[in-house]
Every structure is written in structure tokens, then in C-alpha cells.
Structure 1
Amino acid sequence: MVEKRTVAFHKPRLDGELRVPGDKSISHRAIMLGSIAKGRTNISGFLEGEDCLRTLEIFKQLGVSIERSGTDVSIDSPGMAEWKTPADALYAGNSGTTARLMLGILAGSSVESVLTGDEYLSKRPMKRVTVPLLSMGASIAAEGPDSDLLPLRIKGMASLRAIDYQMPVASAQVKSAILFAGLQAEGTVTVSEETVSRDHTERMLQQFGVDLQRDGNSVSLKGGQSLAGTDVLVPGDISSAAFFMVAAAMIPDSEVVFVDVGLNPTRTGILDVLEAMGAQIEYIEEKGQQGEPYGTVRISHAALRGTEIGGDMIPRLIDELPTLALLATQAEGRTVIKDAEELRVKETDRIKAVTTELKKLGASIEETEDGMIIEGPTSLTGGTLSSYGDHRLGMMAAIAALAASDAITIEDPACIAISYPSFFEDLEKLTGSEDAE
């Protein structure tokens, strides 16, 4: 039986201060690089979501000593040359980031392993990562009938070939996998993108002592470098904050202050689009910690207008597009989302899923090959929405309840814990009311 949760609000208004959980992308990479490096790494602000815990457990299976106390994590690693061959398959759960980045890491390791995932992840393509890794000399073979899907067997190679790779599509996951494999390559690995994707891997590699070169939209590193353990601070995840940013902009008389949220320029497209649509945004304080900027931002409601979202902006807000589609239903005029084909190979086909679910509420939204067209403003009704097992669609459905005239019932809300375990608690805190059960 599918678990359900009903959410309803009477004249909602969001007000208060919010510190969202740690950034998922940075949490993954901190565990990965802390395990590759020799010595001790201390992480503060780690995201306790299911995806990041999958990454942590995988490295425990590889023999890395990891201790966690809430959002604080200590790693003592002998370095990847001393990892142990795991007794069982490495299970990535629903985490595409875990699976794709681990392919690059394991390709240059000293162990042989099988990488698996849950039913959703096992349907997501891996060839975009395995093709460049195979060209580096990696040994990766399918355990099942489809070479593009998990489970995959990886036989670690002591040394890989360096490549100069031109990315066909901007993807931080693919770029990161190649750079991680490049740490064990003979020579210099270069990855080039037409549009720069999120750069957390590059920033953190440098934090762990890697000499890395950037030239425009290209990044290069020389193989054979040693990494040393260090301290990592994980700021709040702007992709999680985005749901409440949209809510604050969308619901009249709302104002929310987001404390210590990540402000990496490759991730702040959500703020640029909110500003273009008319939301009031104030940067109260901006900080930085060894290359990862973060700060405090206030967002307030204002009259919203439609806009166009596409081109270079897409990699900077790919995970925020579902909730921006919801916001567009409450904006005056037409909003066009384009150049977002990547949405079709996320946890689910998010283009089809978003249009299907928002139409159930009465939204005027049409699916296109590479995005959506939304006409607004429209009055949203209640109904039952599917999360498709996708955490971001589950959160979008809950935020939709703030603008809907009737209650919204969410199917499989448990998936939200993948990235935001305290989501419903924070929703209740900002609205000052408990959602209906």
C-alpha cells in the first residue's frame, strides 16, 4: 500500500528564519574526497539525507573508518590504495550522484566491486559516464542485460589513460566522475563544457590539495597527485531552500530569511529567476569558506510576472525547475522553460511528471520536448498528486498546497527524506500551523 500524506492550509503566510539542511552535492563530495585522501577529514553540516548516507555506507564497505554524530562526520582514511575489496555489492539506493561519481572513483581504485541501485536508479542511464571512463581504460561491465544500466561491475585499474573530453551536455556528475578518475591517470585530464555546470568538485579538490587548472569552460588536473585530509564546512542546500524561496515569493504577506545558505554562483540561478519574476530579494550577509560561498538572504512576496528560462541558466537551476513551474502558475503571463532535456533523465521524467501533476490541480501547463510552457495566473484546486518516488516532486506537491483552494494528498511522501528529512517540520514552522493528516 502506498503511503500518503494530506497537506492543507487556511490562508497561509510564511514568516520566520530558516536554516536548511546541508548541501547534498557538497556532502556527497566531502565524504568521497575525505575517503580518497590520507589522514583525517572533519565535516560539519553534513546532510543526514538518505542519498548522502548511501555514499557514507559505501566507503565504510571499502574499509574507510567513518564516525558520524548528527551532522558532524569524522573520516580516517588510509588512502584509496589501501581500500578493501567489499564483500557485498555497493548499494547506491536512489542516488544518481553516488552512482555516477563512484564509477569514476572505483575505476581508478585498487578494488573490484559491483555497484547497484534501487528500482528507480536502475532505470537511469549510466553510459554518459561509462563511455568516457572506458576511453580512459576503465574496466566496467554490465551485470544485467543492458550495458547502460546498473548493476555494473568495476575492476579498479592502478593507472588510467588521460583524456581531453568535450562534454556533449553540461553535467556536473559526468565532469566529476572523469576528474575523480583523472586522479589515477597518467598525464593530464581535461574536461570542457559549453556551459559550466556546478563546480563543487573543482573547489573541493583544491581544498584537499589538488593542483587544478581552469581555463574558461575547461578544467584540467594531472594524475598521480596526493590528497590530504582537511576540514570541510557544508553550507545549507540552496536546492532545498528553493521550495521555501518559491513559497515566500508566491504567498501574499510572506517573508523568510534563509541563514547560511549556499551561494555558489553555479547554483544561484533560482535567485536570478525569482528576481526576474519580481520577487523581493535582499542579500543580508555573504561569507566564504575555502572557496564555497554562502550567506543569509531575505525573500519576500511581490507581484510576479512570467519569464523565459533557458540556455546557460539551466545548469544553474536544473533541480529547481519543478518548483519554478509551480511558481509560474501564480505569475502574470507566460513562462517558458526550454533547453531542459536533462529533466527527462532525473529520478523520473520530471517534464512529464510536473505537467501531469500540476494539470490535476487546474494549472495551464503544456509539455514540450525540452521543457514546459505555463500560463498564469491560475487558481489551483486540491487533489491527489504522485511523487513518483522523486523527492523534489514530493516537495513541489507540498508547496502547491499553500496556493491550492483545497487539500493536497501526496503519494509516497517518504521519498522527501532523500534530501530534506525535516521538510514538513520546517513547513509547519514557517506557516505556524500543522498540516492536516
Structure 2
Amino acid sequence: MNLPPFQGFIRGTVQVPGDKSISHRSILFGAMAKGKTTVEGFLLSEDCHRSIECVRKVGVQVDVDQTNVTIQSDGIESWQEPTEILYTGNSGTTTRLLAGILASSRIASVMIGDESIQKRPMKRVTDPLKQMGAEIIGRENSKFTPLAIQGKELSGIDYTMPVASAQVKSAILLAGLRAKGTTVVREQETSRDHTERMLTHFGVKIEEQDRVITLEGGQTLHPAHIVIPGDISSAAFWLVAAAIVPNSSLTLENVGLNSTRDGIIEVLTDMGATLDISKGQSASHEEIGTVTIQSSQLTGLEISGSLIPRLIDEIPIIALLATQAQGKTVIRDAEELKVKETNRIDAVVTELKKLGAKIESTKDGMIIEGPTPLTGGKITTYGDHRIGMMGAIASLISTDAILLDDADCIAVSYPTFFEDYKLVTTGS
């Protein structure tokens, strides 16, 4: 896709699609509950369709009407053994969370993902599940997919997380729901807590104190109604666009403002962005609000430590933001970027350098000097939706056209991205 240089400014109001993390969980949890679960604001992306397809293959009825979804299930006890392989595509959330659920079921199944998923680490999930008594076979001692899982009765464990990962934490908690005894997960850094919030919404008793999450086994989920806010990870691209394109002002409505996901808001504020946040009434145990941002002078800063898990998916667009900030921006403690859809440290640095950015990789992040004018060029997305969107936003400040080698990959999380791109750029 060829994106010509942009001459105007950003204006308008955008409502980004539903949160991807919450959309996945609404399907998986609704499939575990006995009865009818309804969902509003579901993200109709490729990733989330993988969760739908997987639960359909174990006998759960899922009906989709635009962004409204109905899940009718007889409960996980009635899941049928699938006659087909469960294909999870590019979705790490589907793969890892479903592994935890299937491990404590009574059925045998096989999961496989696309080429990217087959390279992503699964041992961080399969090891604690095996400690609970799970029967899992996969490539290189269950380090990679495909994974063959024979569901069986598990026992709760007390597990200290070696890395901050909501997917790993969630897999253990979901396995612990049906396990004997108590499951305890100890986090060194707080990861996103959508699973804990949604389990509470489905009637599960779960405790959290000082990053220690405790769950008693033998609990069942009760059907619920889920309202999904807009995905702040998707909103981040427009927040950055409005911050760096001169004379811009943009409002994002119905955005999720979960405190474990709002790192992008903190970074923009600390850089000097002009932000106005109006929090609305929470829905389904998730905070929602409206964010208005105007372009302004920005200053570089250090991003590290406990802030990283709250913005790990936003680092590609934060790197672009930093190219327009005065001074040095240092991103540390972000090794997790190396095991995303691609090695995002290398990908971000390589592609932004093509555009003239002063950016260097480090062993756990990157260093960016700004402000630097960006030229055009060809962006390789590596099939990574967030690299693709970063390139598209870069076209709004580049002196020449930007060519995306694969714009289709953006549909993984934001299928209407270019519709909103046109909306905010033609409004000027």
C-alpha cells in the first residue's frame, strides 16, 4: 500500500474497535460457562475469529451479528472432543489461554498456529501446567506448537512468574479453576488484569493483594453480559498521530482505561502532550473514558521497569513518537518484544532507520534521539500488525510517500484502521 505524504492536520472523533484482549476472553469464558453469554462491542478481527472457531470445534454455539456476539454453551464439562485440529492462527492469546482451559478439561485436542505462532515460546505456559499435572506434548519438549493436550484433573500450584505475562498468568488461573486445591500466582511486575476482572464478572471468587493472585479450585463460571471498551492499544496510534502532526486535535471515545494498560497515557503526559481525560461509568469491571489530545512540543524520557508491561504492545508507536520529541528517549527492560509476532526491537529500529530516524537497538530496548524529520521509504511489516500501523502513522509526518509491503496484516487487530485513517485525515 502506497501512502503519500500528508499535508494537513488531524481532526475529528474516533471510536476504535473493541479491546482485543477482552474480546478473546469473552469468547473463551462464555464457552466455559453454562448458559447464554452476550457480548457488545466485540472486535471482529482475524485474531478474535480464531477464538470463535476453536470453541465452535468443541461444540459451543457462537452467533455473530456485527459487533454483538452470543455464546450458548452447556459448560466446559460438556465440551466435545474436536475432530479437527484447533487452528489458532496468529493469536498468542488464543493459544496460551486455551492451553490452560484444555489442560483441565476431559477431552483430547491438538492446537497449531501460523508460522509466527510456531516460533513463539510456549514452554513458559506448558511448564507450569505440567507442574499442575497436565499432559501436554509438543515440539522440543512442549517449547513450541503444535501442542497435543489430553485434559485431566489437575492440582493447584503456587507459582512465581519469571516474566510479566498476562497470557501465562491467565493460562495458570484458568487451569486452576477446575483443579484440586488452591492456585496462587505471584507476579514480580503487574501484568494486564483482564482475566481477573472478567472472572469476577462471571461469578468467580478470586483474590489479589500485593501482586499475589489466589484462586480456589472447583469453581464454575456463570453466564454474563459483557460490554467491551475500545482497545487502548489501537487508540495509541491515533493519540500519537495527533500529538506529532502539527495543529492537530483528536477525540477518542469509549476507550478502555484499565490501570494495567494505560502506560501510553502516562508516557504522553510525561512527554508534555496536551491531554484531557474524562472517565465514564465502568462496564463489565473495566474502566472506560474519552480522551482528547492536541499536538504539542514533546520531550524525551526514560521508559522502563514496571511501566513496560503497561505499554508493551505500544512500544512500536512510542518509538515513532520519540523521533519527534526533543532530546533522548531510552526504552529499557523490554526483552519481551523479542518474542512477539516478530522481534519488535529489531523490526522497529530497522524500519524507522529507513525513514531517517536516529535510533539504535540495545539488548533490552532502544535509544532514540529527536526531533528528526522523517523521509519516505518502503516499510517491511514482517506480518506484524503493529509495525504496519506504525508505518502508516509515520506517513503523516514523512516528507515523501511510505510504501507498506503488507498492509493486510493490520486486520489482525484493527480491521477498520484505514477507514479511520481516512476519517481523521480528510476532516482537515
In the superposition, the TM-score normalised over structure 2's length comes to 0.99
Structure 2: distance between partners of 1:40 and 1:272: 38
Residues 1:208 and 2:184 aligned together: no
1:218-233 equivalence runs, <5 A: 218-233=212-227
- Distance (Å, rounded) in 1 between the aligned partners of 2:6 and 2:291: 27
Distance 2:353 2:69 in 1: 43
Of the three residues 254, 260, 270, the one matched with 1:266 is 260
Is the contact between residue 300 and residue 327 of structure 2 (CA under 8 Å) also seen in structure 1?
Answer: yes
Shift of 1:289: 1.3
Please state if 1:332 is matched with 2:326. yes
- 2:3 is equivalent to residue 7 of structure 1: yes
Give the match's secondary structure for 1:427.
Answer: helix
The equivalent residue for 2:95 is 99
1-side partners of 2:323 and 2:279: how far apart?
31
**Distance in structure 2 (CA, Å) of the matches to 1:287 and 1:7:** 38
CA distance in 1, matches of 2:33, 2:129: 21
Give the counterpart letter for 2:184 in structure 1: T
Would the alpha carbon gap of residues 185 and 389 (structure 1) be closer, same or farther in structure 2, given more than 3 Å must change?
same
Which residue, out of 43, 53, 60, partners 1:57? 53
Q: Kindly provide the amino acid, as one letter, of the partner of residue 290 in structure 2.
A: T
Q: Which amino acid aligns with 2:197?
A: R
CA distance in 1, matches of 2:6, 2:15: 25
Q: How does 1:46-125 map to 2 (within 5 A)?
A: 46-125=42-121
Secondary structure of 2:291 counterpart: strand
Deviation at 1:147, TM superposition (A): 3.0
Q: 1:114 is matched by which residue type in structure 2? A: V
Shift of 1:381: 0.5
For residue 363 of structure 2, what is the aligned residue in structure 1?
369
Q: Is 2:26 the partner of 1:30?
A: yes
Aligned residue for 1:147? 142
Q: Give SS of 1:198's match.
A: coil
Say whether residues 1:388 and 2:397 are aligned partners: no
Give the whole-Å Cα distance in 2 for the aligned partners of 1:8 and 1:314: 33
**Identical positions, percent:** 55
1:252 offset after TM fit, Å?
0.6
Deviations 1:360-406 (A, max 9, x none): 01100000000000000111100001100000000000001011100
Match for residue 134 of structure 1?
A: 130
SS of residue in 2 equivalent to 1:299: strand
The answer to whether structure 1 residue 21 and structure 2 residue 25 are counterparts is no
Deviations 1:6-60 (A, max 9, x none): 1123313110000000000000000010000110100000000000000011000
Equivalent residues in 2 for 1:246-265, closer than 5 Å: 246-265=240-259
Q: Which amino acid aligns with 1:113?
A: S
1:277 is matched by which residue type in structure 2? M
Residue matched to 2:180: 186
Separation (CA, whole Å) in 1 of partners of 2:302 and 2:2: 32
Q: How does 1:263-412 map to 2 (within 5 A)?
A: 263-412=257-406
1:246 and 1:12 map into 2 onto residues whose CA distance is 16
- The one-character-per-residue Cα deviations of 1:170-222 (angstroms, maximum 9, x if unpaired) are 10000000000001110010101011100000000000000111111011111
Q: Deviations over 1:277-308 (max 9, x none)?
A: 11111013422013100111101110011011
Task: Name the aligned partner's letter for residue 8 of structure 1.
Answer: P
- Of the candidates 161, 165, 185, which is equivalent to residue 171 of structure 1? 165
Deviation of residue 146 (structure 1)?
Answer: 6.0
Alignment of 1:45 onto 2:41: yes
Q: Per-residue CA shift, 1:292-340, capped at 9, x if unaligned?
A: 0011110111001101100000000000000000010011000000000
Could you say what the CA RMSD is over the residues aligned between the two structures, in angstroms?
1.0
Structure 2 gaps, min length 5:
none
- Opposite residue 22 of structure 1, the aligned amino acid is G
Distance 1:31 1:284 in 2: 29
User: Take 1:241 and 1:290, find their aligned partners in 2: how far apart are those partners?
Assistant: 20
2:423 alignment counterpart: 429
Q: Distance in 1 between matches of 2:55 and 2:8?
A: 44
Distance 2:219 2:82 in 1: 25
- How many angstroms apart in 1 are the aligned matches of 2:90 and 2:278? 36
Is the aligned partner of 1:415 residue 2:403? no
| Shift of residue 145, structure 1, vs aligned partner | 5.2
Secondary structure of 2:361's counterpart equals strand
- One-letter amino acid of the structure 1 residue matched with residue 92 of structure 2: G
Structure 1 unaligned segments of length 5 or more: list them.
none
